Chains A and B, each alone.
Chain A
Amino acid sequence: MSESYSVVGRPLARVDAAEKVTGAAIYTSDVRLPGMLHGRVLRSPHAHARIVSIDASRADRLKGVRAIVTGADVPGLRVSFVDTPKYPADEPVFAQDKVRYIGDEVAAVAAETAEAAAEALGLIRVEYEPLPAVFSVEAALKSGAPLVHEFDYPGKTVWEDWGAQGRAGAQPVARRDNVAARTFVAFGDLEAGFARAHHVREDSVEVAPVAHAPLEPHAALAWWDASGKLNLHVASMGIFYKRFVLAKALGVPVSQVRILKSFVGGAFGGKIDVFPHEIGAALLARKAARPVRMELSREESLVATRMDFHAQVRVKTGVDRDGRITAQDIRLVVDTGAYRGTGPVVVFLCYSYNIPVYRVPALRYEGLAVYTNNPIKGPKRGHGAPFIRFAVDTHMDRLAEDLGIDMVELMRRNAREAGEVMPTSGDVLKSCGLKEAIDAAARDGSWSTKRRSSDWKASARYKRGVGMSACSMFSGSPYYPFGSAAIVKMHDDGGATLFAGTVEMGQGSETTLSQVAAEELAVPLSDIRLVAGDTELTPIEFGSFLSGGAFVTGKAVRAAAADAKRQLVEMAERLLEADRGDLEARDKRVSVKGAPQRGLSYAQIIAESVKRSGGDPIIGKGFFKSVADAQLHPSLASAKGRWTEAYGFAAQLAEVEVDTWTGRVHVLRVVTYHDCGYPLNPQIVEGQIEGCVSMALGQTLAERVDLREGQAFNPDLLGYRLPLACGTPEMVSGMIHTHDPGGPFGAKEVGEGAVSGVMAAVANAVHDAVGVRIASLPITPAKVLAALERAARGAR
């Protein structure tokens, strides 16, 4: 496979870097419009309560207040990222009969000043009748537990709008329990598998909820223009998905909603949902007939939008004498919070992200998402892969120890290879660099020497160790709008403008897509201008929330550039009286192969096309559907059905030093080898890996939303401990080029996949260093010290 590209594969400077370093880049809350009002949301102070009455009259009379909305304005309006016939939307935009978590939206106001809006909130009188609440999965699953939701409300769900088969009946269905979703998979003969195992063990882990905490809090600015169209700037991850749901919620046609481009200050999964404050901004703007901006505070953004799941995982595995898995039984339970959020998806993903890593001939998997009166959970970078891989690879490390087999060897013996077919989906691993990644990470991390050498390992106080883990990630999956399209418009000087709906939220999509277009069109990167992130100006785009940005949109962009190039070559064919097969496009020219002087510049070709051939200025169009042969979507409940075209893989090694006096774990080095297929921009890929590792280390060692009875006790950035520059370890960000046959230039996902191998790598390294295993995240100094003390007492 040739890797001699001119533009892709090069670490070129990002196309948006200059505007960002100069402060010129515009984010949602930087936009000011004449007459703009300030919006604020009134939220429930109770975790579970009936709303007896809402009286907004005093707020209405306050000077400066221009509009107020409550649940009464939008009766029966519910939204959810998961809105299917089986799991219909369950989150009222503004509370109807009751509130279900501290932070639940009850009303919204728009006023001339931020102060007036805040004062107005205080004047809205809500009478609550507190109800008994449940704050843990255990409490929620007890028989007789209070129901977080008494009813499901099937209606016309978005998936039915998108073509799914509906269910009969539109009446509310009484619920019997707090189980929000369940995925169940079973294949192979589990009993026989365990029976023939040489060794069986079972382990459990727990993962605390963590926050996305991008630097930009959530924000939305909405206004209705004179033509009746809704316009928005909004911090988002998928503008076409958001447009669809907003249009549906507001009762307007999709083409009457426009999301304009804003840069997004980080998202990591936390900005994909359509949030009540966004719909609220639109409703208020309509009522007040003025633009309304909602800027959430950091606290609201942290605790009242989405956060990552609280997960408990139990894994039982049987292995033969060589450590090969014969059977596996996994039970996973997540606290999904007061509304379903992405609970139904994460319990599906904890199976789907796990099954591509190790070969398992017989499996039983059950994933349960449970309602509680805690804040709502949603997708966070890896979306389930972090907890399932933490569970499985700490378990594998223990199996390795039980068997006396080296962990890396155990991983290699069970690692999948290219060509394997996934059991329930039928997805084929068309490329798989897992083994190469494991070998490379072990090599660069000096696994063999550092596992064994006692010189390196210890002083009296500080002990060192290394640990390994691996993980897998998909590259896009069927979800509205189910594909991406792109347009490449030629300019008469031979440069081009690429129209692509991608949202630039830090992952570098504007740059990588521009590189793809430039490479295919055979022009320098500087000759590609980009119009991005605007639903009016760009064709449909898959969104940056299913790791499909490079894969799906990249292919659409490549196709559009190829289409433009084809038209240029065809025109050149006529003008040069040459055969297409003898022509090549390179450096903004089409010329005869081997005789470059016999050629025409793009500018010349376009001029001829316009003036002599009827006026065609040459516009290229391309599109790509994610998972071309998929049914509408795989089954979340059974994991059956084609899911993705390509899987990325990563193997990660962590090197730690444990301070035995304090329990503090210093991470010295993290080595990642990521099979991303082919790095469209190696500098950007490295940046994504480094960001993933940093985020993963935060979750592994320090981050935790401290929820007590449904309230976060650390809802600001002083108490919620994000990693800082001073704690940055050395990072090696390696890539394995497996050249996926389906990806644009062989590229697969990057952006999520390097999170989920870090947790177990660190936990296993801690064990290697000091001989204790911490089975719950975060691995705090207190837990390590307590474990060391228990071990010392046990030894005595």
Chain B
Amino acid sequence: MGDAIEYCAPEGLEGVVRALAERPGAGVLLAGGTGLVPALKRGLLRAERLVSVRALRSHRDAARTPDGGLSVGAFATLREVASSTAVRAVSPALAEAAQQTASPALRNRATLGGNVCLDARCWYYDQSERWRASRAPCLKAGGERCYANQREKRCVALFSADTPAALIACGARARLRGPGGERTLPLESLYSGDGLAPLAKQSDEIVTEIELPASAPRSGSAYEKWRERDSIEFPVVGAAAWLRLGAGDEVAEARIALTGVHSGPLRLGELESSLASRPVPDAGDRDLHERVGRSLGRLYLAEAVPHKRHIAGVCVAAALSRAAAHAVRSAP
């Protein structure tokens, strides 16, 4: 991987920001390493300097905020997020998404910030150098064409991280720090939808905190993940649902976000609107399954496209159903 790569582990956030800024475009943030190290091994990442958060003491906790919301440090591990009572109280979807990511050993290292900033994936791209030598480099690797997309010159790498779907459904905001200062934005705005560069931030900006608002009364959330095996793998589809129940237990408001289907997390806005003022749909509602499947648009990088559409529908319905159950149990 190269003898020349530097490594540093600054003690404060300012030091981390400065170390990244000193190597514009060639410094990379190293948190858990579970995304970065495979990319280095495969020759997908050209880095001159690894800037580690190992020595940082801040931004590692999940805690309730004075207004009843939640603030989770970007460098909290997924295991910490999954097992946090604070997280579970405010967003069961986030706890479930973190709990179902990867495998136990990976969750002991992977961080929330790393998962939120995970690169989009493609089976033409996430391969060894030797494998990729069988064809000219793809768009994402700096070449001229996308092999997964025969119709147009556009990278369709899939965004496949679990926690962002849950976070977006629960109305999360992300705090970023860069050389120019700090900014906060809705997490949804962090995603460009472009498989080539899925994150709409500068390379020297770091996500430092994820904030969730206090749970509205009679609201609940859930995350439903479908993968071929029950551990290790990325989702084929992950569906997060948040809803708030009205006086008659109908859906007052709903938010649904999917991962694994497009080059960024996907909000199902039309479906959300259509659920308002209606009873919570049944997990087995076939109409709902089909509507979700139709709302996904063109799907790339799926082993079985019709099945994936159907599974997306099953996952959305299941997530809504469990979110409603949680809402009913929550304090009025």
A interface residues with partner B (beta carbon < 8 Å): 43, 45-46, 102, 115, 297, 299, 460-461, 661-663, 702, 706, 711, 713-715, 718-719, 721, 723-724, 726-727, 780-782, 785-786
Chain B residues with CB below 8 A from A461, complex form: 284
| Contact, CB under 8 Å: B228 / A662 | no
A45-B134, A299-B128 are known contacts; what are 8 more A-B pairs with Cβ within 8 Å?
A: A102-B134, A115-B1, A713-B123, A715-B131, A724-B231, A727-B229, A782-B304, A782-B306
Chain A residues with CB below 8 A from B231, complex form: 724, 726
Determine whether B232 belongs to the interface, using a CB cutoff of 8 Å to chain A. yes
Query: How many Å from the CB of B320 to the closest CB on chain A?
Result: 15
| Contact, CB under 8 Å: B307 / A661 | no
Query: How many Å from the CB of B199 to the closest CB on chain A?
Result: 22
Interface residues of B in 293-331 (CB under 8 A from A): 303-304, 306-307, 310-311, 314
Interface string of B118-135 (1 = CB under 8 A from A): 000001000110110110
Shortest beta-carbon contacts, A-B, top 9 = A782-B304, A782-B307, A45-B134, A726-B230, A45-B133, A713-B123, A724-B229, A724-B231, A661-B314
Determine whether B182 belongs to the interface, using a CB cutoff of 8 Å to chain A. no
- A715–B128 Cα distance when bound, in Å, is 9
Instruction: For chain B, give the interface size range.
Output: 20 to 34
| Contact, CB under 8 Å: A46 / B134 | yes
Selected contact of A661 from candidates B127, B233, B284, B306, CB within 8 Å: B284
Query: How many Å from the CB of B31 to the closest CB on chain A?
Result: 20
Determine whether B75 belongs to the interface, using a CB cutoff of 8 Å to chain A. no
Given contacts A299-B128, A711-B131, A719-B123, contact A702 B233 (CB under 8 A): no
A-B pairs with beta carbons under 8 Å apart, 7 shown? A102-B134, A460-B284, A661-B314, A715-B131, A719-B123, A726-B229, A785-B307
- A721–B231 Cα distance when bound, in Å, is 10
Determine whether B226 belongs to the interface, using a CB cutoff of 8 Å to chain A. yes
- A780–B284 Cα distance when bound, in Å, is 21
| Contact, CB under 8 Å: B134 / A662 | no
Chain A residues with CB below 8 A from B134, complex form: 45-46, 102, 711
| Contact, CB under 8 Å: B232 / A718 | yes
Chain B residues with CB below 8 A from A786, complex form: 306-307
Selected contact of B307 from candidates A115, A299, A663, CB within 8 Å: A663
Chain A residues with CB below 8 A from B234, complex form: 718
Q: Which of B3, B233, B310 has the most CB of A within 10 A?
A: B310
Chain A residues with CB below 8 A from B232, complex form: 718, 724
| Contact, CB under 8 Å: B128 / A718 | no
- A785–B230 Cα distance when bound, in Å, is 19
B interface residues with partner A (beta carbon < 8 Å): 1, 3, 123, 127-128, 130-131, 133-134, 226, 228-234, 284, 303-304, 306-307, 310-311, 314
| Contact, CB under 8 Å: B228 / A715 | no
Query: How many Å from the CB of A340 to the closest CB on chain B?
Result: 24
Chain B residues with CB below 8 A from A45, complex form: 130, 133-134
Chain A residues with CB below 8 A from B303, complex form: 706, 782
Chain B residues with CB below 8 A from A780, complex form: 304
- A726–B128 Cα distance when bound, in Å, is 29
Chain A residues with CB below 8 A from B230, complex form: 724, 726-727
- A781–B229 Cα distance when bound, in Å, is 12
Query: How many Å from the CB of A597 to the closest CB on chain B?
Result: 61
| Contact, CB under 8 Å: B304 / A662 | no
- A417–B219 Cα distance when bound, in Å, is 67
Name the residue of chain B whose CB is nearest to the CB of A698. B229
- A93–B233 Cα distance when bound, in Å, is 36
| Contact, CB under 8 Å: B307 / A781 | yes
Chain A residues with CB below 8 A from B133, complex form: 45
Query: How many Å from the CB of B144 to the closest CB on chain A?
Result: 18
Name the residue of chain B whose CB is nearest to the CB of A717. B232
| Contact, CB under 8 Å: A702 / B127 | no
| Contact, CB under 8 Å: B311 / A662 | yes
Query: How many Å from the CB of A524 to the closest CB on chain B?
Result: 41
Name the residue of chain A whose CB is nearest to the CB of B123. A713
Chain B residues with CB below 8 A from A724, complex form: 229-232
| Contact, CB under 8 Å: A43 / B130 | yes
Name the residue of chain A whose CB is nearest to the CB of B302. A782
Given contacts A297-B128, A711-B134, contact A702 B228 (CB under 8 A): yes
Chain B residues with CB below 8 A from A115, complex form: 1, 3
| Contact, CB under 8 Å: B229 / A721 | yes
Chain A residues with CB below 8 A from B229, complex form: 702, 721, 723-724, 726-727
- A273–B123 Cα distance when bound, in Å, is 30
Selected contact of A662 from candidates B130, B131, B306, B314, CB within 8 Å: B314
Query: How many Å from the CB of B287 to the closest CB on chain A?
Result: 14
Query: How many Å from the CB of B38 to the closest CB on chain A?
Result: 9
| Contact, CB under 8 Å: A721 / B127 | no
- A726–B100 Cα distance when bound, in Å, is 13
Query: How many Å from the CB of A777 to the closest CB on chain B?
Result: 15
Query: How many Å from the CB of A48 to the closest CB on chain B?
Result: 12
Chain A residues with CB below 8 A from B284, complex form: 460-461, 661
- A715–B127 Cα distance when bound, in Å, is 8
Chain B residues with CB below 8 A from A782, complex form: 303-304, 306-307
- A45–B129 Cα distance when bound, in Å, is 11
- A780–B236 Cα distance when bound, in Å, is 14
Query: How many Å from the CB of A573 to the closest CB on chain B?
Result: 63
Query: How many Å from the CB of B108 to the closest CB on chain A?
Result: 17
| Contact, CB under 8 Å: B306 / A718 | no
Query: How many Å from the CB of B74 to the closest CB on chain A?
Result: 24
